[in-house]
Amino acid sequence: MAISIPCRQLFIDGEWREPALKKRLPVINPATEATIGYIPAATAEDVELAVDAARRALTRNKGKDWATASGAVRAKYMRAIAAKITERKSEFAKLESIDSGKPLEEAAWDMDDVSGCFEYFADLAEALDAKQKAPVSLPMDNFKCYILKEPIGVVGLITPWNYPLLMAIWKVAPALAAGCTAILKPSELASVTCLELAEVCREVGLPPGVLNILTGLGPEAGAPLASHPNVDKIAFTGSTITGSKIMTAAAQMVKPVTLELGGKSPIIVFDDVDLDKAVEWTMFGCFWTNGQICSATSRLIVHESIAADFLDKLVQWTKNIKISDPLEEGCKLGPVVSEGQYEKILKVISTAKSEGATIVCGGARPEHLKKGFFIEPTIITDINTSMQIWREEVFGPVLCVKTFASEDEAIELANDTRYGLGGAVISQDLERCDRVSKALQAGIVWINCSQPCFCQAPWGGNKQSGFGRELGEWGLDNYMSVKQITQYVSNEQWGWYQSPSKLYNFKQLSLLIQRSGFRFLLIWKMGSSEEKVVAVIMVGGPTKGTRFRPLSLNIPKPLFPLAGQPMVHHPISACKRIANLAQIYLVGFYEEREFALYVSSISNELKIPVRYLREEKPHGSAGGLYNFRDLIMEDSPSHIFLLNCDVCCSFPLPEMLDAHKKYGGMGTILVIKVSAESASQFGELIADPETKELLHYTEKPETFVSDLINCGVYIFTPEVFTAIQGVSSQRKDRANLRRVSSFEALQSATRSLPTDYVRLDQDILSPLAGKKQLYTYETGDFWEQIKTPGMSLKCSGLYLAQFRFTSPDLLASGDGTKNATFLGDVFVHPSAKVHPTAKIGPNVSISANARIGPGVRLISCIILDGVEIMENAVVTNAIVGWKSTIGRWSRVQASGDYNAKLGVTILGESVGVEDEVVVTNSIVLPNKTLNVSVQEEIIL
């Protein structure tokens, strides 16, 4: 199949430019040894032009065009690039395959990773804005400190030929996300797809000079780039020798570098492995990408008791690898990249043989391939640790084998190297895997696998494999500098030097008294009995997201029972405790008919108007509030409570209101401390420990910010509507600007939000943090967010537990229902019939008209209306739907992981479980009959 190589020039300042010396280098197809095209050869003069262009792009319009633009602006370009590469995936993969010799299937996989890497770092770019001005806790109250992260500047990126485009993107994507401008210099042995990346950047309108791409030889283009005084950082992937030279040049200018260098990584195989699995991972670790991987686990260290069997199977499987032109279907091993690399590998194999090693497989050109730089996958035994083949990186499909007798010996062999990039350990004993992983001197360790790489996780090595980390948040930090901003916030003079007059202190005192008096009058006015309060409860709807219907129970989530009452009943009844409450509004997407009966009954029960307001389309948590502002403001309330119905909480609303009146400002947020491990699932915030002012807020951060989280319960003054309107107006202004933007015209799927879609967390809380507008009220009582039906079990227990200290009569007692045995917190509806020999609790809710038979055992479960549970049945960690029946001696049970999809068992409406059937960790949809036991199944 003939594939033409596009004829490209150097990419400088957003334009194609001929190299200064007009020189070009041939592109050799390693599978055919034919010249298939040419690439431009840059020299020092071209490097000068590219660095100047990058510097102009960094500072253009005082940096507002790129370096100091919002992360969202940079993310749009990056996502546009990702979309273009996905669109041209097949073309890019074929170009990469004929340029580098990589099998086509692997090249296509790489292109998916390229797009994914751009998307991932686009997400991190967007998240940067919210993380700016992160506060630093100081020991002195009269100072405040925060952190700014800024792009490091102009960066030089020098990349290898084994993953030509992907490893370039490992550097380009985080650099652009950080706001840097860059000069990319790919390897002269495989540059074609990097030049096509330049064309993609030109097509999406990336600002000129942000990314410049120079191809050419290392000494003529790479060296001038690495030593250029106007380049702020160098990131290099390649040989240890070249990396050392780059580091030396950078040291002369005290310039930071990131180096990902050579490797000679071990794979340790213990005697308890599954041979087939271990053999395949051993092959993948060394022969993938034609063996040309810096992290290749090319030193096999196998336990002596299984070595013979393991090696026999390894040789058989290796001989079965299909070696062919990389464009052929099913190719698993192509040629190495160049004639020079081909000759180097054969020489290393020959030297090993002359030193006494045994070639048990491969070691030469495949007989059926007369052209191309093909080398058979090679396995070498009878190695001693002083041999070159054991100690030096080969960068080809060559695997060396040694045996070991003990764990300590294996670790010693693995660490006996000047490199420290990767390592793998294969064993069914996970405790041993953990010990060995900790003992290996490497930046990356794989357990029961080899070579998987994810752009979310750090990549880099120790010892002479380099330093610094690429990928993940660590990769982004490589391209950013950290700036500390410290402010003196006290009104008092610092006092180190003596003032000639004390008059200043008297003025300060006078001003303080005046301010205190004003604050007192303001608080007194806010506490007036004439003020009214309204409450808004967001009930969501049957849409994609966290607010969903319980999986097999056909009811809106807010009406799902929690501690014997509809879920939304609890925040509504909490609102009843607020003084001067005028109205309660429920806002959501459900059809009005689904809430009509409930709203009517709860209004009569509480003697307070409760109204359901249906959104016709999503407006966001704050936008939904604003959408109904005229109705909410009918009673001219002084304060508005905003609650989420999928929160299980003690709801200290009157206490929050008192605290808010004391604080002042626009709003107060209910907060709670949780474990650091779970904090990232929620909005994390930092508050002033004295004043309780909200200083910083970030929604579901990727790195730990604080163990203080947003509980989803708020008090606002009506000024919140002005803040929401401001966000909406800014969006409209940006939308008008986008209509005349040539870049936006190229974006068929722009990710901007509708102008009337306003999120409370990202759009209101984050921007107002630190502006003396928002405050926090910390609860010491319980709080949980109900994300799954299973969480309602846990939350039922929390609700019932509080009644022990407040209204114990709401809990079932030993003499309350025919003397059945109750343990812990149990709710039983008065109409339910429970046999005296049943044993119930803890954490059980039994709804209306349920019938619980003799000898039944119920633990951590919700039993809905009309359910019948027959004698000696057991129900644990389960939700049993309306009118379901559970037969004699049956068990309906689960593990009790409330967050997991199958962590609780759920029976839908009218499910029949026959006698002696066990249902474990399963979901059964309505109207099904089970006559056989099931485990971890979803019964449709």
Active site residues per annotation: 260
Classify strands 912-913 and 918-920 as parallel, antiparallel or unpaired: unpaired
CB 416 within 8 A of CB 268: no
**583/639 Cα distance (integer angstroms):** 12
Q: Is 73 helix (H, G, I), strand (E, B) or coil?
A: helix
- 573 φ/ψ angles, rounded to the nearest 5 degrees: -65, -30
Q: Is 592 exposed, middle or buried (0-12, 13-18, 19+ CB in 10 A)?
A: exposed
Picking from 576, 499, 560, 572, the residue whose alpha carbon sits closest to that of residue 536 is 572
List CB contacts of 426: < 8 A, sequence separation 6 or more.
Answer: 267, 268, 269, 270, 273, 277, 278, 281, 282, 447, 448
Cβ count near 35 (within 10 Å): 11
List CB contacts of 701: < 8 A, sequence separation 6 or more.
Answer: 127, 130, 131, 680, 684
Q: Tokens standing for 25? A: 């280098």
HSE, CB side, 13 Å, CA atoms: give it for residue 314.
Answer: 32
CB 147 within 8 A of CB 482: yes
**860/794 Cα distance (integer angstroms):** 8
Strands (E), 645-691: 647-649, 667-673, 683-687
Q: Tokens standing for 268? A: 């340790």
Q: Tokens standing for 195? A: 């030049």
To the nearest 10 degrees (0 to 180), the angle between helices 620-627 and 720-738 is 110
**620/49 Cα distance (integer angstroms):** 48
Place of tokens 């080899």: 450
Q: Can you spell out the DSSP letters for 580-610? A: TEEEEEEEESS-HHHHHHHHHHHHHHHTS-E
To the nearest 10 degrees (0 to 180), the angle between helices 89-100 and 71-87 is 70
**865/831 Cα distance (integer angstroms):** 10
CB 176 within 8 A of CB 77: yes
- Partners of 482 in beta bridges: 149
Element (H, E) at 657: helix 653-663
Length of the chain: 940
Please give the C-alpha separations between residue 742 and each of 719, 755, 781, in angstroms, as whole numbers: 37, 20, 54
Q: Tokens standing for 897? A: 């992981």
**323/333 Cα distance (integer angstroms):** 5
Residues of the chain by 3-state class (helix, strand, coil), percent to 5: 35, 25, 40
Q: Can you spell out the DSSP letters for 797-832? A: HHHHHHHTTS-GGGS--TTTSTT-EE-SSEEE-TT-
CB 157 within 8 A of CB 184: yes
Picking from 939, 890, 934, the residue whose alpha carbon sits closest to that of residue 916 is 890
CB 400 within 8 A of CB 380: yes
Classify strands 378-381 and 774-778 as parallel, antiparallel or unpaired: unpaired
Angle at alpha carbon of residue 818, lines to 817 and 822, rounded to 5°: 60
HSE, CB side, 13 Å, CA atoms: give it for residue 65.
Answer: 17
- 661 φ/ψ angles, rounded to the nearest 5 degrees: -65, -30
